[in-house]
Structure 1
Amino acid sequence: MLHARGSLLTVDVSEQSAQRIDIDDLLERTVGGRATATALAHDRIPFDADPFGPENRAYLSTGPLQQSQMSFTGRMNMTALSPLTDGLASTNAGGYLSRNFADTGISVLEIVGESDELLAIHVTDSGVEFEAVPELENALVPEVSSYMAETRDLGPEHCIAIGPAGENLVRFASVMTFDSRAFGRGGLGAVLGSKNVKCVTFEGESAPAIEVPSIQSEIHREAAQSDDRMKRQGTTGGTEFINDNFSLPTRYFDDYSFEHADQIGGNAVEEKKYKKGACSACAYACKLPTRDEETGLETEGPEFETVYSFGSLQGVDDIVDVMKSNELCDVLGMDTISAGVTIAAYLKSEDAFGDADLAHELAEQIAYREGIGDTLAEGVHRCHDELGVDDYTVKGMEFAAHDGRVLHGQGLSYAVANRGADHMYAGMLGLEYSGELDPEGTLGKAETLVHEENASAFRDTGIVCAFGGDYVTDDRLETLFGAPIDALLEVGSKTVTRERHFNNQRGFDVNDDGTPYELPDLEAAIQEYYAARGWSENGVVPDGSLEPVSISAD
């Protein structure tokens, strides 16, 4: 099976030491990306670790397709114990980092410990350098990039960084790359912040050779020639359709549709788009560099989830206001979904829906933990009682836009997902929007959900962009990876099981699987899901279900 190549680089910031370990055997079994990082995290992070403690470990990992020149492969995975959910979480980001990361000769970076001083870590194919950067304390993400360009001649495509939100341990802080691309969900930016790591750079010329089958050229050509609306409007292209036919959660979930959806949806975003944007080696170019000529505001986006979280959910109907919220989250280093939902909860508590200026003020207060921002930085689950609003989270993670109250299969997905209320953990929403799966009801959907979770886990392992599904089909995946699709899905299945087992050891069980709203037959559907997974009725992975992870020092 095609798999990533390169060593595991463990960086201990407490000791300012680094060690490379050969993990070829592990890569052969886990391929790369999310699967490899999850296997390492499961075995190397103590089950009783504090997410903000030195014993937590953050993993940045690449897959074999990042060694190709194929569209939909400009992505990387990040995994750690989440300070938002208190369970194991993986997230991925696009941009231009992956090839520069691979050029250092590693497949996985592992960061452990806690530094006494704010650090920049420089990884090359010849070693690791630790640089104290007190001058970057509370620096915005673009300021970090400018510093690295000036002092190291390395642009943002060589760097991951955190903003003030990460340094101040905002539980939904993101890790940023290329300034505007986010490892967004789960608060992994706060994990780096707890370790006093401001940024990591990557540079080298030692990428291991990986021979990717020639089908990559056909996929790349089709991506270049396609005329999908996604290329013009990104994920916002479906805003009005979803609002009119399903649900666009509005005013902190009080309403199911937004009367001004057309003012913040795909056409409104396209009107602000001023050039094409892409990720490394991708001809699909679905990114959204936008600019408002009147104010001079420039950002990348907003995508659909931000249109929801800082638009409809807050009752904000001006696309420029949503653009400004998007830019604030990027430069401050925060997940736009969790930040927007948390601010919407506050607006509800203050009867202040539609106040975009207040939303912008709150975003900055959260990042610096100033005033009410210190409370909101904990996320909805930890502050909803104080605000007097409902807890719209699962496992502590704020809901994505795709409404499980209407898409019941997606609601089931939110209920059982190891990561919580995140839309990328499984693809039920797409099946229900298209009519391929009836949105009504939860029973009888467990087998489909298991398949979608496994497929998503392998996609994050390969690594293939979620938007490449129409091009990187199952038969092409078989050709690319040299294995039948069932074998690829099994890699995904083992990854989901490892996540669940880790969380079980931290006390997660059936009591953590559910939604804050009623869904038909949800408890029975959850039991169907457990049975399909081979887990106990309590949502626990049986003993002996996991193969051991073994690595050896060079």
Structure 2
Amino acid sequence: MHHAQGPLLTVDVSERTAETEDIDDVLAGFIGGRGVGTKLAVDRIPTDVEPLSPANRVLFTTGPLQHSQMSFTGRMNATSVSPLTDGLCSTNAGGFMSRNFTATGYGAVEITGASDEPLALHVTDEGVEFEDVPDLEGALTSEVSTYMEEEHGLDEDAVACIGPAGENLVRFASIMTTENRAFGRGGLGAVLGSKGVKAITFSGDADPVEYDFPDVTGEVHREAATSDNIMKRQGTASMTEYANKVEALPSYYFSELSFEGAEGISGDRVEEKKYRKGTCSACAFACKLPTRDEESGLETEGPEYETVMAFGSNSGVDDIVSVMKSNELCDELGMDTISAGDAVAAYLASEDAFGDSELIHETVEKIAHREGVGDTLAEGVARCHDELGVEDWTVKGLEFAAHDGRKLNGQGLSFAVANRGADHMYSTFYALEYPLVGRDQAMNPEGLEGKAARLVERENHHAVLDSGVVCKFSRDFVTDDRLAALLDAPFEELMDVGARIVELERAFNNARGFDRSDDRLPYELEGLDAAIDEYYAARGWNDDGTVPGGLSGGGDVASADD
């Protein structure tokens, strides 16, 4: 089986030391990316760790396919214990950093400890340089990129950084790379902020790993280049009007399932603002969205559909330029647009102020700097909904993505049981229910019959993609047989690896107190309890949502007292 290669680099920012160790057994068993990040986290992070303490760790990993030049492989992974959900969280980002990471020669890089002063880490194939960066305190993400280029000759593709939100420990702060690509969900930017790490750069001249990749890499690349797909013009924003039509578009802080102003924030409106092509490293699909509003001069990348939902329909906004500005603010300040947008929508609901764009943009700034009501919202909806007097629209503390489970019931089940919480990318079950796949894969969006077993398959498959690392939008190109060929292993063996990853996540979270009571939704879904039973049975888990034997099969359980 093809897998990532290289040692683990551990960077202790408290002691300003760096050391390497062999992790060949972990790499061979878990491929790379999310799988390796999960296994190392389970082995090395105390199960009782406080997420914003020095004992927590952030693990950066990528996979074997980042050594190819195949489309859909410009991605990498970050794993840590989330300050938003309090559970183990892996998140991946696109852009161009993954191949800079492989050039360092490390199989994984982890950050632990805490620095008293703002710090930049420069990771190369020769080791780590620690740089005090007091002048970057409070800097926007674009300002960090400018500094790295002017002072170190490193472009934005080599940089991962946090904005003011991460420094101020906003629980949904993101880690940004290539300025506008985000390790978005779960608040890992706050974890770096708690460690005093403002930025990390990756560069080097390590010899590339030689893999015997099959000819399918060229086939995928050619098909991606020649396909006629609306995402090439509109990105995921192309979903907006369709989701609205089938009543799966959350609106007015989840109180409605469609939005009368959807046309104003549709994919067509985004396409009108797109001024050039955008892509990730080596990808010919080019579905990214560099956009510009000529009247105001505003430029950003996006918004994608999830941002359109959070800062558009869910906030009662029908103006794409307003959503673009919200998107750009989040990128510069370093926040997940979904969680930030939902938190703002909750505040608008409490103030009866839906559609107030000026208030929205002011509130985004206040969240990042924890000023006024922003300090309350920075804690996330699960922690502040009572104070606001609104419902708690989260699962496991993670704010909801779009693709509403009240209409797409299998996606609702996925939201309920996903280890990461209310996240649409954990299984992308919505793709089967709109459907965005062929008839042979499509499922009726209503009801949950037969969906639990299918969900298990989807989660396992996506865990492998996240370990490869392969973009989820490759679904029409990287088929099961091609994935098996690319990773040089039988498909069934790969799915076993995916199952182990999901189970390790669950077992770690169980050790932190998570159980069936956390697998819930803020709305009624007929048959949900029975479907959850079926899901547990398909995975071989206990009726209470725990893994038999706990972490006994996943490595030694660490303690914060160790």
TM-score bracket for this pair, using the shorter chain length: over 0.9
Please report how far the alpha carbon of residue 7 of structure 1 lies from its aligned counterpart in structure 2 after TM superposition.
1.2
For 1:214-249, what per-residue CA distance to the aligned partner results, in whole angstroms no more than 9, with x for missing partners?
210111111111111110000011211110013211
Distance (whole Å) between structure 2 residues aligned to residue 519 and residue 267 of structure 1? 33
Aligned residue in 2 for 1:50: 50
2:7 pairs with 1:10: no
What secondary structure does 1:165 align onto? helix
> Which residue type is aligned with residue 496 of structure 1?
V
Aligned residue in 1 for 2:503: 497
Distance (whole Å) between structure 1 residues aligned to residue 362 and residue 119 of structure 2? 29
2:166 pairs with 1:160: no
> Which residue type is aligned with residue 536 of structure 1?
N
Contact 2:179–2:331 (Cα < 8 Å) also in 1? yes
Contact 1:243–1:261 (Cα < 8 Å) also in 2? yes
Alignment of 1:336-415 (within 5 A): 336-415=337-416
Contact 1:498–1:546 (Cα < 8 Å) also in 2? no
What secondary structure does 2:107 align onto? strand
Distance (whole Å) between structure 1 residues aligned to residue 127 and residue 488 of structure 2? 33
Please report how far the alpha carbon of residue 444 of structure 1 lies from its aligned counterpart in structure 2 after TM superposition.
2.6
> Which residue type is aligned with residue 475 of structure 2?
G
Contact 2:41–2:57 (Cα < 8 Å) also in 1? yes
Contact 2:301–2:328 (Cα < 8 Å) also in 1? yes
* Unpaired segments ≥5 residues, structure 1: none
Aligned residue in 1 for 2:530: 524
What secondary structure does 2:190 align onto? helix
CA 544–499 in structure 1, closer or farther in 2 if over 3 Å, else same: closer
Aligned residue in 2 for 1:184: 184
For 1:120-179, what per-residue CA distance to the aligned partner results, in whole angstroms no more than 9, with x for missing partners?
000111111101101000100000000100110001100100000000000000000000
What secondary structure does 1:106 align onto? coil
For 1:467-518, what per-residue CA distance to the aligned partner results, in whole angstroms no more than 9, with x for missing partners?
1111111110111111111111111110000000000000100111110100
Name the TM-score, length of structure 1 as normaliser: 0.98
For 1:6-50, what per-residue CA distance to the aligned partner results, in whole angstroms no more than 9, with x for missing partners?
111100001000011111121111110000000000111001000
Aligned residue in 2 for 1:291: 292
Aligned residue in 2 for 1:238: 239
* Unpaired segments ≥5 residues, structure 2: 557-562
Distance (whole Å) between structure 1 residues aligned to residue 527 and residue 245 of structure 2? 26
Please report how far the alpha carbon of residue 289 of structure 1 lies from its aligned counterpart in structure 2 after TM superposition.
0.2
> Which residue type is aligned with residue 156 of structure 1?
E
CA RMSD of aligned residues (A): 1.0
Distance (whole Å) between structure 2 residues aligned to residue 22 and residue 214 of structure 1? 31
Aligned residue in 2 for 1:150: 150
Distance (whole Å) between structure 1 residues aligned to residue 328 and residue 385 of structure 2? 26
Distance (whole Å) between structure 1 residues aligned to residue 419 and residue 196 of structure 2? 27
Alignment of 1:372-521 (within 5 A): 372-434=373-435, 436-521=442-527
Report how many residues are paired: 550
Aligned residue in 2 for 1:324: 325
Distance (whole Å) between structure 2 residues aligned to residue 246 and residue 485 of structure 1? 36
For 1:255-312, what per-residue CA distance to the aligned partner results, in whole angstroms no more than 9, with x for missing partners?
1101111110110000000000000001110000000000000000000000000000
Please report how far the alpha carbon of residue 547 of structure 1 lies from its aligned counterpart in structure 2 after TM superposition.
3.6
Contact 2:184–2:336 (Cα < 8 Å) also in 1? yes
Distance (whole Å) between structure 1 residues aligned to residue 392 and residue 554 of structure 2? 38
Please report how far the alpha carbon of residue 549 of structure 1 lies from its aligned counterpart in structure 2 after TM superposition.
4.6
Please report how far the alpha carbon of residue 180 of structure 1 lies from its aligned counterpart in structure 2 after TM superposition.
0.2
Distance (whole Å) between structure 1 residues aligned to residue 499 and residue 209 of structure 2? 28
> Which residue type is aligned with residue 356 of structure 1?
S
Runs of at least 4 residues of structure 1 off by over 3 A? Answer: 544-550
Aligned residue in 2 for 1:20: 20
Contact 2:507–2:550 (Cα < 8 Å) also in 1? no
Please report how far the alpha carbon of residue 443 of structure 1 lies from its aligned counterpart in structure 2 after TM superposition.
3.5
For 1:413-459, what per-residue CA distance to the aligned partner results, in whole angstroms no more than 9, with x for missing partners?
11111000000011211101117111111243110010010011111
What secondary structure does 1:453 align onto? helix
CA 333–478 in structure 1, closer or farther in 2 if over 3 Å, else same: same
Aligned residue in 1 for 2:310: 309
Distance (whole Å) between structure 1 residues aligned to residue 416 and residue 25 of structure 2? 35
Aligned residue in 2 for 1:110: 110
